[in-house]
Structure 1
Amino acid sequence: MKTIMLVYSAGMSTSLLVSKMKAAADEKGVEADIFAISSSEATELLNKKSTDVLLLGPQVRFMKAQFEKETASKNIPVEVIDMRDYGLIDGLKVLNTALELIGE
């Protein structure tokens, strides 16, 4: 089971993206726990929950360096979701990006 955390600022688009990613994972036969959390809650959850990859919504890309520092000791890859994929709510492309970052 892969755990994919998406970090957002305002959650409506991100929750739609999570739904599309879950559907894409089901179609691909990938077991994944995919969820979104606000940037203010992400740090605390990173300390409590095992996470394989951290994807940032384009609106919080300025926080990438901060999250890279927080995840460095845990070897959790951090990447900003492509703005086009995010805007189109392309769950398959974002899922594939996450899986590539994990090494799948």
Structure 2
Amino acid sequence: MKKILLVCNSGMSTAMLAQKMNKAAPDQFSVMAKGEGEFLDFVADQDIVMVAPQIRYLIPQMRKELTKDIPVIGIDPRSYGLMRAQEILAAAQAELAKSEAL
């Protein structure tokens, strides 16, 4: 099972999305949501970090702060706004496949 960490300002908006994503693919993914101020406390055992559109400007900084090579990608604003769990899971899956191929 792959672990996804969703990150936004405080973890509130991504918490709803995490619930939908967990329901959409309970056997494939485990999704958790946290605020950007605490993401480093939870990232160690995650496979990918997905960042909410409102803080995607922090992605370069977040990548620098990581001690392990974990993909950090932005969530598509439209998919995020419409809470399209399947689309966001597909993006995570594609990024993980790309990372594993390297």
Q: TM-score, normalised by structure 1?
A: 0.84
* Contact persistence 1:24–1:91 (CA under 8 A): yes
Aligned to 1:74: 68
> Alpha-carbon deviation of 1:85?
0.3
Unaligned stretches of 5+ residues in structure 2: none
Q: Distance in 2 between matches of 1:80 and 1:7?
A: 9
Aligned to 1:38: 35
What is the aligned-residue RMSD (CA, Å)? 1.6
Aligned to 2:14: 14
Indicate the structure whose relative CO is greater, using CA pairs within 8 Å and at least 6 residues apart.
Answer: 1
Q: Distance in 1 between matches of 2:12 and 2:37?
A: 16
Matches within 5 A, 1:1-104: 1-26=1-26, 29-30=27-28, 32-46=29-43, 49-71=44-66, 74-103=68-97
Task: Give 1:67's aligned amino acid.
Answer: M
Q: Distance in 2 between matches of 1:81 and 1:34?
A: 14
* % identical equivalent positions: 36
Higher helix share: 1
Q: CA 1:45/1:12 → structure 2, altered by over 3 Å: closer, same or farther? A: closer
> Alpha-carbon deviation of 1:13?
2.4
> Alpha-carbon deviation of 1:87?
0.3
* Contact persistence 1:68–1:78 (CA under 8 A): yes
Q: TM-score, normalised by structure 2?
A: 0.86
> Alpha-carbon deviation of 1:88?
0.2
Q: How many residues align?
A: 98
* Contact persistence 2:21–2:31 (CA under 8 A): yes
> Alpha-carbon deviation of 1:33?
1.7
Q: Secondary structure at the match of 1:5?
A: strand
